[in-house]
Amino acid sequence: MSETLFSKIIERQIPADIVYEDDDCLCFKDVNPKAPVHYLLIPKKPIERLVDAKSEDQTLLGHMLMKASEIVSDAGFGDAFRLVINNGPGAGQSVFHLHIHILAGRTMGWPPG
Ligand code: DGP
């Protein structure tokens, strides 16, 4: 997998407003927020898209879901938040390092655009 903006954030080659980090994942504020709370949670392992995850990544993906819930709850929005994964350009993915958008702090419309 080629280097992406997000691998550079993991390596601290470009700055980001980091809100959480552990051995397996990193969470930082989206540079172009679509809600008062808009974080990106990424695995440190370079997985391009959700569809590229392997069965060996099951624990990592479960860990990330649990962490997303914990992070947004710690931010005070545990009762109303949305998680989004854009998989592929047709779904709006622009950075090819798997990421979970964590959105909160405003009313969420449905269906999403
Ligand atoms: P997606 O379109 O699902 O691939 O989302 C990519 C998100 O990444 C988009 O909401 C903007 C954000 N983003 C792009 N470049 C940077 C960056 O350099 N820093 C940060 N913090 N966010 C970025």
Answer whether residue 110 is part of any domain.
no
**For residues 65 and 61, what is the distance between their CA atoms, to the nearest angstrom?**
6
Q: How many domains does the chain have?
A: 1
Q: Which of 3, 5, 12, 85 most suits a substitution to test ligand 1, by most atoms within 8 Å of the C-beta? A: 5
* Pocket flag, ligand 1, residue 30 (CB < 6 Å): yes
Which pLDDT does position 70 carry in this prediction?
A: 98
Cβ atoms within 10 Å, residue 7: 17
> At 1, is the pLDDT very low, low, confident or very high (cuts 50, 70, 90)?
low
Which pLDDT does position 113 carry in this prediction?
A: 80
Question: Could you report the per-residue pLDDT of 32-68, keeping only the tens digit for each?
Answer: 999 999 999 999 999 999 999 999 999 999 999 999 9
CATH number of the domain at 78, please.
3.30.428.10
Answer whether residue 78 is part of any domain.
yes
Entry pTM? 0.97
Question: Could you report the per-residue pLDDT of 75-84, keeping only the tens digit for each?
Answer: 999 999 999 9
Q: Which two tokens stand for residue 2?
A: 């080629």
Range of the structural domain that residue 65 is part of? 5-104
